[in-house]
Amino acid sequence: MNSRKRNAMQVMQQNKACVNRIIRALPPPFLRQATPYTLADFHPNVKTACANENQLLNVTLKVAKVVILGDVGTGKTSLVNRFVNQSFSNNYKATIGVDFEVERFDVLDMPFNLQIWDTAGQERFRCIASSYYRGAHAVVLVCDVTNLSTLTHAAQWLQDAQDANPGTQHDMMVMLVVNKRDMVNDTMFGIVEVKARQMCLSLGAEYWAVSAKTGECVEDFFRRLAALVFNAAVIAEVGSEIKQPAIKIGDGLMCDANGNANREAKKSGCSDNNSKCG
Ligand SMILES: Nc1nc2c(ncn2[C@@H]2O[C@H](COP(=O)(O)OP(=O)(O)O)[C@@H](O)[C@H]2O)c(=O)[nH]1
Ligand SMILES: [Mg+2]
């Protein structure tokens, strides 16, 4: 096990996530009109399940795989590095020899880890192994605001990820991130944004614009991603159907095994003034 992997284990075993990795309400999208994920907060069943830890025994829930995809030079490594190490360099080595980074969150008081996979430069030759994509819960498509062809290519990157995950039970979450926001003025950005939002619509992706260089919106983006993936993972485990109680609390009726309604027999007389307690 190399030292990076040991670090990943240490991250996951932390007792608590650091303050800015604690999520108690669903963070908002970048633009409310540019996301297919329109829920206003965590699903009620997710909140209930998290309040009652015993419902969430499945360990697979605790780690989610996120793959970062996009043309070479769009800033994928910079984006991950900004988030994980709060730093930026103009000169990343193409190969850093790391499979993934792990970031520990606490979502609704549940420990949750994002395993963030960055390529080691293979995207230059479009020869990413299918194991890179396999089992991904979320795909982050990174584009460069100064290079529109990187936006067009996002569709192909998503296709590759989907091809490597045929018939997945859960849908992969898709986020499209326009990076290098710092490099263009508002007019230019507006033009790219229109095109990026169109692409998001056709791919079923949520739209974001960030700068790995300045850090603008990077933290917000990953918090939103972690929360959405967590929500989907818990729903996959506990279901999204909201169970209505068959009988309202306090109506005093119970059903017998045949479905016949009976007056509830009092098991304890403590709430009944006339009964004898103790
Ligand atoms: N100005 C600016 N440059 C960036 C930004 N993100 C990445 N870069 C630069 O873009 C180049 C490619 O970045 P890198 O992270 O290696 O891209 P990757 O090939 O997609 O991993 C590097 O020179 C980075 O310094 C950004 O947000 N703003
Ligand atoms: Mg890279």
pLDDT in tens, 147-183: 999 999 999 999 999 999 987 655 899 999 999 999 9
**pLDDT tops 60 at residue 244:** no
Question: Could you tell me if residue 70 is inside a domain?
Answer: yes
Q: Tokens 């230019």 identify what position?
A: 188
- Given the CA of residue 89, which atom of ligand 1 is nearest to it? 25
DSSP, residue by residue, 220-231: HHHHHHHHHHHH
| Sign of the dihedral defined by the CA atoms of residues 182, 188, 189, 192, in that order | negative
- What is the distance between the alpha carbons of residues 277 and 11, in angstroms, rounded to a whole number? 53
pTM more than 0.85: no
Q: Which ligand is nearest to the CA of 76?
A: 1
Question: Could you tell me if residue 149 is inside a domain?
Answer: yes
Question: Could you tell me if residue 30 is inside a domain?
Answer: no
Joined together, the tokens standing for residue 134 give 């396999």
Question: Could you tell me if residue 95 is inside a domain?
Answer: yes
- Of 199, 226, 58, give the one whose Cα is nearest residue 137: 226
Nearest residue by C-alpha to atom 7 in ligand 1: 75
Nearest residue by C-alpha to atom 13 in ligand 1: 75
| Sign of the dihedral defined by the CA atoms of residues 184, 188, 192, 194, in that order | positive
Domain carrying residue 77 = 66-237
pLDDT digits (tens, 9 = 90+) for 82-111: 999 888 887 766 555 557 889 999 999 889
pLDDT of residue 168: 67
Joined together, the tokens standing for residue 230 give 């967590």
Residue 221, domain CATH: 3.40.50.300
Question: Could you tell me if residue 108 is inside a domain?
Answer: yes
Ligand 1: list residues with CB < 6 Å: 70, 72-78, 90, 92, 179-180, 182-183, 211-213
Question: Could you tell me if residue 43 is inside a domain?
Answer: no
- Given the CA of residue 78, which atom of ligand 1 is nearest to it? 15
pLDDT band with cut points at 50, 70 and 90 for residue 238: confident
Question: Could you tell me if residue 8 is inside a domain?
Answer: no
Of 11-15, 101-105, 163-167, 269-273, the least confident: 269-273
Total of domains in the chain: 1
Which of 71, 76, 78 to probe ligand 1 with, by most ligand atoms within 8 A of CB?
Answer: 78
pLDDT band with cut points at 50, 70 and 90 for residue 261: very low
Question: Could you tell me if residue 1 is inside a domain?
Answer: no
**Dist. CA 77 → ligand 2 center (Å):** 4
pLDDT of residue 93: 60
- Which residues are near ligand 2, the ion (C-beta closer than 5 Å)? 76-77
